[in-house]
Amino acid sequence: MYQRLWFSAPPTSPDCMVVGFIHGTVEIHYVSGEPIWHSYEVRPLYEFSPVCFPTYHDGDLYHLYEMELRVFKHLGENNISSEVLIAEAPRSCCRSSAQYFLVKCDQHLLLLVMGGFGEPMEVFKLNDSRREWDKVNGVGKHMIYICDATCICIEAKLPEMENKIYLAQSSSRNKKMVFYSLETSTYHTFDGKNIQENLADVFVTAHLSAHAWIEPSWLKSP
């Protein structure tokens, strides 16, 4: 069973390439080609932990493996390879155990660091030349959706939705969605219309089960 699946384009597109991840193996299927999967061994780099948040950037497939930033190169070729790009997570202000999320924002690769509720979320941008994470203060007109399986960054359609990170969680008190504002550096809840400022309602949250974020195709239409 695949731990993660990544699609280079909508599955209905003849240009779609599907990449599946199994411990120590990468498998690639071309929608317009023969109905077979091409397997590539990438041991010993991948033995125990799953590949997380595969993200296409500059022609290569980046991903998180535990706290490391790794990259698959030469996808679609016989000499596919994997390498560790950054071996350590950036220094953050989190006092508790942190979670890491990888997402592409415009032309940049971002790493989101989230500690426990009450601690600030931090955003870092990949510096390709130095192979380091540079801390940034916000994402401008964009909005980011995160969960355990997928991360999506899109340009906000409304000004009040800009520069925010939305979680796949809801407040167990008022059932509203939870988001983090990079402008106010705090958590809030909202029901699609009204923003809740009472932090007591935010800190009591429940994960939404069987969740994933999907970007509708109409968002990419001109």
| Domains: count for the chain | 2
Contacts of 194 (CB under 8 A, 6+ apart): none
Decide which of 84, 114, 143 is a domain's last residue.
84
Model pLDDT, residue 204: 47
Whether 132 maps to a domain, the answer reads yes
What domain range includes position 181? 89-215
Model pLDDT, residue 207: 47
Four-CA torsion 37, 38, 41, 45, nearest 10 degrees: -70
72 close to 53: Cβ distance less than 8 angstroms: no
**Which of 58, 135, 59, 144 is closest to 101 using CA atoms?**
144
Q: 35 and 109, same structural domain? A: no
Q: How many angstroms separate the Cα of 133 from the Cα of each of 72, 112, 137?
A: 19, 11, 13
Q: 62 and 146, same structural domain? A: no
Whether 80 maps to a domain, the answer reads yes
Q: 118 and 22, same structural domain? A: no
Q: 108 and 78, same structural domain? A: no
Q: 203 and 94, same structural domain? A: yes
Decide which of 63, 84, 105 is a domain's last residue.
84
Contacts of 32 (CB under 8 A, 6+ apart): 14, 15, 16
pLDDT truncated to tens, each residue of the chain (222 aa)? Answer: 677 788 888 888 888 888 888 777 888 888 888 888 888 877 666 666 778 888 888 888 899 888 889 998 887 777 778 888 998 888 887 777 888 999 999 889 999 998 877 788 899 999 989 999 999 999 999 999 988 778 889 999 888 889 999 887 655 555 677 888 999 888 887 765 566 555 555 554 444 445 566 565 555 544
Q: 106 and 191, same structural domain? A: yes
Model pLDDT, residue 174: 55
Model pLDDT, residue 170: 59
126 close to 58: Cβ distance less than 8 angstroms: no
Model pLDDT, residue 171: 56
Decide which of 61, 84, 107 is a domain's last residue.
84
pTM for the whole structure: 0.81
